Chains A and B, each alone.
Chain A
């Protein structure tokens, strides 16, 4: 049914993959360079990994980055899930669409705008910039993606499940924790996961609201890269690449889990 592709199409794809991956592998390759620059490979060495693991400041920043990512995605998941439940319960279709549009504003806004406007906001409130402001910003820009991940699950949920639970005498708290939330778990997991990667990936918003004392990986890399090449960053990017691979594997696993659940259900019915 699928017609055979010409050889040129495959050549084109191979070139695309080479273009997409060569900068990344270039970075990783030079992390093993015994020399000091990202050129003229002068021999294999792990010296830059040694530097990385001896660099307390960098390790602290890596820790900061993961703490912010974990906390912000956790809190964003909670608020976002409740938000999705709220939006779902709205019957008026105009109001519902309005809420959905408002929800998506932060998803489509350029991150410079988010960063600058949050900076104005925090300054007006008199908040000192640092861990707190970065954490709040990350929660704020992660909430809409959680909503978008949870809402479809809610829409496909069979409402007779809730009716049945209520008929059997469950109170609304029991309906929520025993029926709705378990049903939504795959969507919530996907939302948490996306929020986590959003937070890890963010540079611009953090750059605006971070102040002096606190730094995340992206901001630190930016300030180091402005001073020139240091192969310690290459070593770091090799580690980050491995983490990304692990995250993708995790995402794949969540997806797989969702689809097997679905197909199991299908089999049960048929």
Chain B
């Protein structure tokens, strides 16, 4: 086709300008000092001081907790949903909250978790003293998990939904118990969905910064928060870019670990 080149002009411009250039620039910026000279100081700062390493470790730990909670809650949901009669409709209802702006959902929790808010009223009803809920690590993890749940349910649901029902029936016919069927048939066959879900939740969890600000009240600092801080508050773009490079590396590692494994089916 001779139009091929013509098709490619706007698209390749986009590839070069908005995919290639920004990443290269960020990598370059991470080697620049504030006065725009080449330096390795940013990396020395990052690796040398315990604070940044501690922050990175915390960020990964929080992301791990968020992913774990989301997975534990989402898997049964996806499984039960797949048995419902109008499952596509119910799935749509699960996805609907993701269409509501993230900021609005987070904002709701400022009201729910506040000192005089509904959750504290509920705690009082149970006979406990009201707690400081907002601006704690726990509230950050729970709100982030709340936001991410649909993104975990969707891929798991899709993989469970693709399982051939006759495999499950066969397993029962051959005398497997419910648990055995789950453990030996459903779980392995939905592994790709779980991997995709982990990928979809873990990477954003590393970089969330508005939830840390609004709900975590600066007590929680993730990689995303640190990047935002360096770019928009302290204006130290070099160090911000260095943390950005670390985040990109973390992302690549996550993707490599959760890659679909195609070879295993053979056996």
Query: Which of A's residues lie within 8 Å of B, judged by CB?
Result: 1-3, 5, 9-10, 12-13, 16-17, 19-21, 23-24, 26-27, 30, 37-40, 78-80, 82-83, 85-86, 89-90, 102-103, 105-106, 108-114, 116-121, 124, 136, 140, 143, 172, 176, 197, 200-201, 203-204, 207-208, 217-218, 221-222, 225-226, 229, 233, 236-237, 240-241, 244-245, 247-248, 252
Q: How far is the CA of A204 from the CA of B84 in the complex (A)?
A: 36
B residues near A9, Cβ cutoff 8 Å: 76, 80, 83
Among the 9-residue stretches B21-29, B38-46, B50-58, B259-267, the one with 4 or more Cβ atoms under 8 Å from chain A is: B21-29
Q: 26 A-B contacts, Cβ less than 8 Å apart?
A: A1-B165, A9-B76, A16-B94, A20-B149, A24-B105, A27-B104, A38-B114, A79-B11, A83-B11, A103-B15, A109-B248, A110-B247, A112-B247, A113-B248, A117-B25, A118-B18, A120-B29, A121-B18, A143-B11, A176-B3, A201-B101, A204-B209, A207-B232, A222-B210, A225-B103, A237-B107
- Knowing A27-B111, A38-B114, A110-B251, the reply to whether A140 touches B18 (Cβ < 8 A) is yes
Q: Which 6 A-B pairs have the closest CB atoms?
A: A38-B111, A83-B11, A117-B22, A110-B207, A140-B18, A23-B108
Residue pairs across A and B with CB atoms within 8 Å: the count is 226
A24–B7 touching, CB < 8 Å = no
- Knowing A112-B207, A112-B228, the reply to whether A106 touches B83 (Cβ < 8 A) is no
- Interface of B, secondary structure class, is helix
Q: How far is the CA of A241 from the CA of B93 in the complex (A)?
A: 13
A residues near B104, Cβ cutoff 8 Å: 24, 27, 221, 233, 236-237, 240
B110–A116 touching, CB < 8 Å = no
A39–B114 touching, CB < 8 Å = yes
A201–B73 touching, CB < 8 Å = no
Q: How far is the CA of A23 from the CA of B113 in the complex (A)?
A: 11
A residues near B106, Cβ cutoff 8 Å: 225
B111–A82 touching, CB < 8 Å = no
The tally of residues in B whose CB lies under 8 Å from a CB in A reads 80
B77–A38 touching, CB < 8 Å = no
Q: With contacts A39-B114, A109-B251, A117-B23 known, what are 14 further pairs, Cβ within 8 A?
A: A5-B83, A5-B84, A20-B149, A24-B105, A27-B108, A38-B110, A82-B8, A83-B10, A105-B23, A108-B251, A114-B22, A117-B244, A172-B2, A201-B102
A residues near B228, Cβ cutoff 8 Å: 112, 207-208
Query: Which of B's residues lie within 8 Å of A, judged by CB?
Result: 1-4, 7-8, 10-12, 14-15, 17-19, 21-23, 25-26, 29, 73, 76-77, 80-81, 83-85, 90, 92-94, 96-97, 99-112, 114, 116-118, 146, 149-150, 165, 169, 199, 203-204, 206-207, 209-210, 213-214, 223-224, 227-228, 231-232, 237, 240-241, 244, 247-248, 251, 255
